[in-house]
A and B are shown apart, each in its own frame.
Chain A
């Protein structure tokens, strides 16, 4: 990996902002455009960008494939788990009102949790597919 030093420095400057942007898209999705899906893709793009600049091994040291592959089912589990939680609290499946004392607040929290589930699955899937594509060519 004897890439241009400009790429490496630029990547080091860019990557934190990409992560912040992903989190912004995630948590600002209630108020502006965005949400779990878009944020997951941006977060995955950050990992892919890192892997392209610094090499696959360096990226897999920070984001191990085992954890990435665990993220794929974990997000669906978070989403479904929120539904089961509201079921146990005496309401319909995926009705978030009983999660907090105030039903409106409960809806808000439920949507946030569900979006985090979507983020985890989407980011995990994208990065895992990228890893397997690149890992196969070697």
Chain B
């Protein structure tokens, strides 16, 4: 409860702040709080990922991006009515969706009765790996993880193409020569 209150406070701070450097720092704090929430929920692997990626790498990359732009956000010229409406509507739909979720931690829910017992019972005999998260990720669901790795690969290639693209334009047959 304390963590969620802090999360809400930081979100309001991010929305109201105009200094982008402060926003990046608050984003890092947000990620660390989210990691703490994950630890409370006993999802240590997710917490570790959130802390290292969300608070570590993405903060550094945001700062790198900040060094290329201005550090002050410009004041919007008109009231952001449409974005506010979209955000509130999406949030309302999501909150409405949570009403249909089963209560937290109940054993008879579909996610605890479908394949999870099989993984828990067979992880040690099948793979001799005590951490079920690892055996599910890499062995039982290896195909998904291959897809995930390919997504990272594709995203990395795309960012590299955008940022490392050659600055000079090739002189085409009909294009004027651009000298730099």
Are the C-beta atoms of B152 and A42 separated by less than 8 Å? no
Known: A32-B131, A34-B45, A137-B68. A132 touches B160 (CB 8 A): yes
Interface size bracket, A side: 35 or more
Are the C-beta atoms of A111 and B149 separated by less than 8 Å? no
Distance in angstroms between the alpha carbons of A108 and B125 in the assembled complex: 11
Are the C-beta atoms of B142 and A33 separated by less than 8 Å? no
Task: Tell me what chain A mostly uses at the interface: helix, strand, loop, or mixed.
Answer: helix
Distance in angstroms between the alpha carbons of A107 and B67 in the assembled complex: 46
Enumerate chain B residues within 8 angstroms of A121, measured Cβ to Cβ. Answer: 149, 152-153, 156
B90 interface residue (CB < 8 Å to A):
no
Q: Which of B131, B138, B153 has the most CB of A within 10 A?
A: B138
A126 interface residue (CB < 8 Å to B):
yes
Enumerate chain A residues within 8 angstroms of B48, measured Cβ to Cβ. Answer: 25, 33-34, 38
Enumerate chain B residues within 8 angstroms of A98, measured Cβ to Cβ. Answer: none
Q: Which residue of B lies closest to A37 (CB)?
A: B49
Q: Which residue of B lies closest to A44 (CB)?
A: B57
Enumerate chain A residues within 8 angstroms of B49, measured Cβ to Cβ. Answer: 37-38, 41
Distance in angstroms between the alpha carbons of A115 and B149 in the assembled complex: 10
B121 interface residue (CB < 8 Å to A):
no
Task: Give a binary string over B3-45; 1 marks a CB under 8 Å from any A CB, 0 the rest.
Answer: 0000000000000000000000000000000000000000011
Enumerate chain A residues within 8 angstroms of B102, measured Cβ to Cβ. Answer: none
Are the C-beta atoms of A125 and B64 separated by less than 8 Å? no
Enumerate chain B residues within 8 angstroms of A94, measured Cβ to Cβ. Answer: 142-143, 146
Residues of B within 8 A of A (CB): 44-45, 47-49, 52-53, 56-57, 60-61, 64-65, 67-68, 125-131, 133-135, 137-139, 142-143, 145-146, 149-150, 152-153, 155-157, 159-160, 163-164
Q: 15 other contacts beyond A72-B157, A75-B153, A122-B152, with CB at 8 A cut-off? A: A25-B48, A33-B45, A33-B47, A33-B48, A41-B53, A79-B149, A83-B146, A93-B143, A114-B138, A121-B149, A125-B155, A126-B57, A132-B163, A133-B68, A137-B64
- Mind listing 20 A-B residue pairs with CB under 8 Å? A29-B131, A30-B134, A33-B44, A33-B48, A35-B45, A41-B49, A41-B52, A41-B53, A75-B153, A80-B146, A94-B146, A96-B142, A107-B139, A111-B127, A118-B149, A128-B156, A129-B156, A133-B61, A133-B163, A137-B67
